[in-house]
Amino acid sequence: MPHRPSDLHPFLERLLTRSVLTAEERCAVLDLPTRADQVSANRDFVHLDQTLQHSCIVVKGLVGRFGQTSQGARQITALHIAGDAPDLHSVVQPKAGSALQALTTTTIVRVPHAALRAVAARYPAIAEAFWRDSVVDAAVLSQWVVNVGRRDARTRMAHLLCEMASRFKARLTDNRASFPFPITQVHLADATGLTPVHVNRTLKCLKELGLMTMNRQWVQISDWKALARMGEFHAGYLQIDIKPEERLRIAVPA
């Protein structure tokens, strides 16, 4: 029978992208207790060094994960979209090492750590899927370190746009694609280690090269192959193109 509607469906779909779960295990994920909250733009809903008793899952909107210096300067170290669980790792490390901020008006659901631990203990395959999901987040972070540390402005911007297009599952038609990306140039600066002025110049340059255009809500990619080539982008680290027969499961079904 179809399962009742749940805010956790996008999260379950993310898990199923890489992992194999039985019908019973899928229902167990959807049955997790949740508390929904709407967070206004530019407000933290997880604070640095906060001790957490729940993990957050993005239902709608755009979330930034922030690192911070002792002087208070902040850097976006990851972007999270609907279906992402940006602090799933807090189940085993409850003290927040990063802040989470809504970059747009965002809906999140909070899932108690106790419930996540219980479902992982009861269903080893779900624990495995959680683990695999956290591994992908770590792979994205590794790419971002290289992006900010070793690529020039045009290359790092192109890489970020290609990554987000892939994560939003933008449909590629005739080497063109578009996807919703409601982010400000200030936030883009925080994500790429550039100034807002440099971000503006970089976006203008990519537009003049005929690669893409961007407004506050959407990105239009005019030449995917050229943009990916400029951004040195290869989507393998995202693990989103895994064929059904390639999805993994270590735990043996009961």
CB within 8 Å of 1: residues ≥ 6 apart: none
CB within 8 Å of 188: residues ≥ 6 apart: 157, 160, 194, 196, 199
| Dist CA 51 CA 70 (whole Å) | 19
Q: Is the pLDDT of residue 195 over 80?
A: yes
Q: What phi, psi does 93 have (nearest 5°)?
A: -140, 80
pLDDT of 252 reads 83
Q: What is the DSSP string of 177-222?
A: EEEE----HHHHHHHHT--HHHHHHHHHHHHHTTSEEE-SSEEEES
pLDDT of 62 reads 98
Contact (CB, 8 A) for 167 and 159 = no
pLDDT of 1 reads 40
CA distances from 128 to 15, 63, 85, 194 (A): 10, 25, 15, 37
pLDDT of 241 reads 83
Question: Using 50, 70 and 90 to split pLDDT, how confident is the model at 5?
Answer: low
CA distances from 6 to 193, 198, 207 (A): 37, 42, 40
**What domains sit in the chain, N to C, each tagged with a CATH number?**
9-146 (2.60.120.10), 152-231 (2.60.120.10)
Average pLDDT over residues 132-142: 95
Higher local confidence (pLDDT), 134 or 70: 134
CA distances from 125 to 15, 114, 239, 251 (A): 11, 17, 18, 5
Tokens representing residue 202 in the block:
């970089």
Average pLDDT over residues 123-149: 95
**CB count, 10 Å around CB of 121?**
10
pLDDT of 28 reads 97
3-state secondary structure of 68: strand
| Dist CA 226 CA 177 (whole Å) | 12
Residue type, 149: G
Strands (E), the chain: 35-39, 43-46, 54-60, 63-68, 74-80, 99-102, 106-112, 177-180, 212-214, 218-221
